Amino acid sequence: MATLEQKLDVALWWKQMRETNNAHFLPLLFDKHRFLVLKGGGGSGKSIFAGRKILERVTNEPGHRYLVVRKVAKTLRESCFEQLKKQAYEYYADQIAFIPKGKGSDMYIRFKNGSEILFAGLDDVEKLKSIFDITGIWIEEASELEEGDFNQLDIRLRTEFPFYLQMILTFNPISITHWLKKRFFDTKDPRATVHESTYKDNRFLTPEARITLEAFRETDEYYYMVYCLGQWGVTGKTVFNGKAVAERLAYVEGQGWRKRGYFAYTLAPDDIHVSEWHWEDDENGPVILYAEPTEGRPYVVGGDTAGDYFVGQVLDNITGRQVCVLRHRYDEDTYARQMYCLGRYYNDALLGIETNFSTYPVKLLALMGYPKLYVREVEDDYTGRIKQAYGFQTNRTTRPVILSELIRVLRESMASINDRDTLLEMLTFVRREKDLQGEAESGAHDDCVLALAIAHYIRPQQTMEVKRPRGQGVRWSKDLWDDYNKATPAEREAMIRLWGRPE
């Protein structure tokens, strides 16, 4: 049973903790999970708390060899080393045994109980090799690491120790496609505690720093959402309106999809033509339908084959609304036949597939007798005459054109996008110094974006009129009715001319 003196000591310690730490982090002082993942916006105080917890542990648990790492060694001295020295002198000065001085000195902090804190960059291989019997790890700016780097550190944290082993990760959530998000946020790891914070949780933030952070809300709202509020995204120069994309993404993630599956088909004896095809529901299927085809309505399909995924983007040609997406790592022949069925399903849609990577899908579709393939004009290399060829070709001339048109269209109609993967790609489609039209950031994809750009570009080659039997009305989808009900009388007349009179 604890004595009164012991109880008073605990009460005094807890009073000091409450006075010198942010309340948002205090419960984590007692967290013993293998991974303590601290995601936060700029100025949230996550790194200060990480340092304080480490110092509490090393001064109260003898024998620690706590390792502090960043991707690059030279960034440690002015960040983690200086921070931990300051905190140690302020709160644990009587327990310090030795701290090297001088800019060229080794970086470590040794305590009277035998514990020590060591510092090393992942680029300093020889230094890391000399550090053994690690009892804890703090990875600052963990988003700088590759997943392989993290795994190697995780393996090294296996020392026999009377106290718990823990790895603390602190980082700003820069990229929505980062492995940290997939590993700790998209799926639940029972060995991890995940914590989120913003500058609003830091009561020690100076008024000047708070004003600086909040100013981004007026100058760059998307940057404010990502860097200051700690939302997943990218802090680079996004090609598309990052705020509008993020808002649309939040909306569609709550909507789900209407149907998901694939097209089952039977090949004719010649192994080329499709003799029969039909839709199959499959919750893991590669095709997501956001709107069923309306009878007589024109559609276009843009296809990209040059990336990691084979993609097909289906648009309602009258409204430009995205109604279906095919996305899968297909073989070329399977992709061509899925696109054949997809185009037929959407009223024999105009089908435009990129031919840069391979002309095989387009050639197979032509052999199969697909009724409406996109046609481009090309110059014959031998005669110099203009001839026609199937498929879309992306090159230095056409790529800026299709991307510029897509940027213009989506500036005015972000609500036309219904697909989560497409929106995620748009968030990570960033400008480079020599490529103002943009490209996927490192580790991300752009197949959906390019297929969408092709689909919008080929729309003029498809009709804008609804084909309907004489004397019969047209069955309108819910989306068309929503647009109609919001329209003016003049706009409604134009809609009926374009879409046909509803049943």
- Tokens of residue 314, six digits: 């289906």
pLDDT reported for residue 387: 65
How much is the CA Rg of the chain, to the nearest whole Å? 29
pLDDT reported for residue 165: 97
Which ranges of the chain have pLDDT less than 50?
none
Percent of the chain with pLDDT over 70: 93
DSSP structure class, residue 238: B
Evaluate whether 107 touches 119 at the Cβ level (below 8 Å).
yes
pLDDT reported for residue 479: 75
pLDDT reported for residue 345: 97
CA 152 to each of CA 94, 167, 231: distance values in angstroms, whole numbers, following the listed order:
35, 12, 28
pTM of the model: 0.68
pLDDT reported for residue 242: 83
CA separation for the pair 373, 392 (Å, rounded): 10
CA separation for the pair 260, 324 (Å, rounded): 10
pLDDT reported for residue 124: 85
pLDDT tens per residue, range 51-71: 999 999 999 999 999 999 999
Evaluate whether 29 touches 55 at the Cβ level (below 8 Å).
no
pLDDT tens per residue, range 199-251: 999 999 999 999 999 998 888 777 888 889 888 877 667 788 888 888 898 88
